[in-house]
Amino acid sequence: MKARVTVMLKSGVLDPQGEAVRHALGSLGFAGVNGVRQGKVIELDLAETDTAKAETAVKAMCDKLLANTVIESYRVELL
């Protein structure tokens, strides 16, 4: 089973990388981009075949390693 985790900074947390991308897009002539939030996508190939167990395991991975839950939120998709 495969899982995709999307990690993003929580709203209200400054995103200097996103701001740099927004500024660069404006410099390249892409007008009208008012904001950019940058995150990361992590794809996992799991041995687990039970959907509920896989989701529980991936959420534990996020809480312990993949996301800093103080400033980041995450979304888990099982594929």
What is the per-residue pLDDT across 20-67, written as a single tens digit (0 to 9) for each?
Answer: 999 999 999 999 999 999 999 999 999 999 999 999 999 999 999 999
Query: Rounded to an integer, what is the distance from CA 16 to the centroid of its chain?
Result: 16
- CA-based nearest residue to 1, from 44, 30, 32: 44
pLDDT at res. 6: 98
Tell me, yes or no, if the pTM score tops 0.85.
yes
pLDDT at res. 78: 97
What are the structural domains of the chain?
Answer: 2-78 (3.30.1280.10)
What confidence category does residue 13 fall into, taking pLDDT thresholds of 50, 70 and 90? very high
What confidence category does residue 16 fall into, taking pLDDT thresholds of 50, 70 and 90? very high
